Amino acid sequence: MLHIDSISKTFDGKVILDNVNLKIGNSELKILKGKNGSGKTTFLKIIASLMSYNNGKIFFNNIENCKKTTLRKNIFYLGDVPGFYKFLSPLQNIELGLSLRKSDVPKEKIILTLKKFELSNYINKPVGIFSKGMLQRLKFAYAFLLDWKVGLLDEPLNGLDDEGVKLFNECIKIWIENKQSVLLVTHNTDYITNSNYDILYLKNKKISS
Amino acid sequence: MDLLKLINKELRAEILNKEIIITMLAFGLSIIVIISFTSNLSKQIIEAYAPGLFWLMMLFVTVLGVHRSYAYEKEFNAIDLILTTPIDRGLIFIAKSLSGFIFITLMQILIIFPYFIFLSIDINIDFFPLILSTLLINLALMFVSNLISGISMRARISEILFPVILFPLISPLIIAATNITNSIINQAPYIEWQVWIYLLISILIVFGLSGYALFDFILEE
């Protein structure tokens, strides 16, 4: 489904990624590990067409260098920063994101999803008052409502309590069943050791298994 | 349709925060009061300098408003919510420019009468060309400042970079705006100031089109 072919990226003359390759098929979850500053977030942002790159090709469904809008529609990036407007409520943030993605999701379904992620008491409160864990839950609720093919999740487990991790695992299970694929960046060693998924390492500017 | 959604978001942000209009208004009114109480100039001199003073005030007000508009995009990296959607990013530029245009026009409506009263300027002019040219200048102010603000947004020193790049680039617009307003107030024949109108239209086209076309690349990290 997604094929990253020899992607390279330099910042101010410093090579961050050097001919990085990766293939992600349907219903796959891959975990990407690497030291701080190794270029994991940069790599995810390049795939999500949020960041430019110097060399290489991105194939989506065997189409070389798809339109950015096609990639942004099918590849969903969930960053390690909140990515929501502080002054808007969870409902308003999600409605804005969904409407710009032209996803016609009824308000009732959004409210039900927010309840599922235990945010029902905060539906109309501004997101600015949320804790880190609540923001992570809100991100999952948003990702849960969207229609995407490949999800790029950058440190989604940060700030989550046990209940939150459980909810996250449920999401992963549902996404994989729905033939969606996930590339997950995490430093959470417990999560990595307890999972059976492919683990990749970003080391010396390249990805290895 | 996406444009309307984005404008709605900008207006909603201002209705909830009330930061842009209040900052603009407080600054504008303060300037008027300071000038009216500290200058001891004749009426003729005041009237001759009034348009320049007005547009200089609008320039600083624009800097405050546009800077605030991009500051809340950076808080929580909120702009990612929009950047991760498959919309035409040029529309973000247009939405920010149009909402800024609404804010500055609203501010001018609130400020114009205190401006005339405090500076004791006689209002005996043809309002139609004055209003029309002011609206076009407002739009041009927003196109230029939003393009520069978008460019400087990702920089670590965006607070310094924004005015440093903006002021030299926007100077021709402020000069044109001052000359147009001055000529209308003095009822000068159009032929004498049409060159400034051409300059204004050129700025609108160049910055409007380049902002729309380049915003996708500008917002890319």
**Ranges of each domain in chain B:** 2-219
pLDDT at B202: 96
What's the token pair of residue A158?
């940060």
Structure confidence at residue A152 as a pLDDT band (50, 70, 90) = very high
Report domain extents, chain A.
2-208
pLDDT at B68: 86
Whether the predicted pLDDT of A133 surpasses 80: yes
Q: Which residues in chain A have their CB less than 8 angstroms from residue B72's CB?
A: 85-87
Structure confidence at residue B196 as a pLDDT band (50, 70, 90) = very high
Task: Answer yes or no: are the C-beta atoms of B137 and B55 closer than 8 Å.
Answer: yes
Whether the predicted pLDDT of B124 surpasses 80: no
Please compute the mean of the pLDDT values over residues A84-100 and round it to a whole number.
92
Whether the predicted pLDDT of B162 surpasses 80: yes
- Residue B155 at interface with chain A, using a CB cutoff of 8 Å: no
What is the arrangement of strands in the sheet containing A55-60, beginning at the earlier edge strand? Answer: A14-24, A2-11, A55-60, A63-64
pLDDT at A62: 80
pLDDT at A193: 64
Structure confidence at residue B99 as a pLDDT band (50, 70, 90) = very high
Structure confidence at residue B71 as a pLDDT band (50, 70, 90) = confident
Q: Which residues in chain B have their CB less than 8 angstroms from residue A82's CB?
A: 76-78
Whether the predicted pLDDT of B40 surpasses 80: no
Tell me the C-alpha distance between A86 and B179, whole Å.
42
**Is the reported ipTM for this assembly greater than 0.90?**
no
Structure confidence at residue A195 as a pLDDT band (50, 70, 90) = low
Calculate how close chain B gets to A167, using CA atoms only, in Å: 22
Please compute the mean of the pLDDT values over residues A194-208 and round it to a whole number.
79
Q: Which CATH class is domain A2-208?
A: alpha beta
Kindly report, residue by residue over B163-187, the tens digit of the pLDDT.
889 999 999 999 999 999 999 988 8
Structure confidence at residue A194 as a pLDDT band (50, 70, 90) = low
- Residue B156 at interface with chain A, using a CB cutoff of 8 Å: no
Q: Which residues in chain B have their CB less than 8 angstroms from residue A85's CB?
A: 9, 13, 72, 76, 78, 81
A77 φ, ψ to 5°?
Answer: -105, 125
Task: Answer yes or no: are the C-beta atoms of B176 and B196 closer than 8 Å.
Answer: yes
Residues of chain B above pLDDT 70, percent:
100
pLDDT at B32: 85
For B210, counting Cβ atoms within 10 Å of its Cβ (0-12 exposed, 13-18 middle, 19+ buried), the class is middle
Please compute the mean of the pLDDT values over residues B39-55 and round it to a whole number.
81
Pick the residue from chain B with its C-alpha nearest to A83. B78
pLDDT at A162: 85
The reply to whether residue A97 touches residue B81, judged by beta carbons under 8 angstroms, is: yes
pLDDT at A187: 79
pLDDT at A192: 65
Kindly report, residue by residue over A12-68, the tens digit of the pLDDT.
888 888 888 888 888 888 888 888 888 899 999 999 888 988 888 888 888 887 788
Residues of chain B above pLDDT 90, percent:
42
Lowest mean pLDDT segment, chosen from A154-168, B40-54, B66-80: B40-54
- Residue B2 at interface with chain A, using a CB cutoff of 8 Å: yes
Calculate how close chain A gets to B99, using CA atoms only, in Å: 17
Which residues are A150's β-sheet partners?
A: A75, A181
The reply to whether residue A85 touches residue B84, judged by beta carbons under 8 angstroms, is: no
| Angle between the N-to-C axes of helices B2-17 and B19-38, in degrees from 0 to 180, rounded to the nearest 10 | 60
Whether the predicted pLDDT of B75 surpasses 90: no
Task: Answer yes or no: are the C-beta atoms of A186 and A156 closer than 8 Å.
Answer: yes
CA B134, distance to chain mean position in Å, is: 10
Pick the residue from chain B with its C-alpha nearest to A50. B220
Nearest to B17 by CA among A138, A86, A131: A86
∠ CA B202-B167-B169, rounded to 5°: 30
Structure confidence at residue B19 as a pLDDT band (50, 70, 90) = confident
* Averaged confidence pLDDT in chain A: 87
The reply to whether residue B77 touches residue A45, judged by beta carbons under 8 angstroms, is: no
Whether the predicted pLDDT of B2 surpasses 80: yes
- What is each CA distance from A14 to A38, A140, A175, B42, B175, in whole angstroms? 12, 34, 36, 62, 43
Which residues, at least 6 apart from A157, have a Cβ–Cβ distance to it below 8 Å? A136, A165, A168, A186, A188, A191
pLDDT at A6: 87
Tell me the C-alpha distance between A187 and A27, whole Å.
22
pLDDT at A170: 87
- Among B5, B6, B76, beta carbon nearest to A82: B76
Please compute the mean of the pLDDT values over residues A166-191 and round it to a whole number.
85
Q: How many contacts (CB atoms, under 8 Å) link A and B?
A: 82
- Residue B42 in 3-state DSSP? coil
Calculate how close chain A gets to B87, using CA atoms only, in Å: 7
Q: What residues of A are in the B interface, CB distance below 8 Å?
A: 45, 48-52, 68-70, 72-73, 76-77, 79, 81-88, 92-93, 96-97, 99-101, 126-128
Tell me the C-alpha distance between B15 and A116, whole Å.
30
Whether the predicted pLDDT of B39 surpasses 80: no
What's the token pair of residue A179?
């033939």
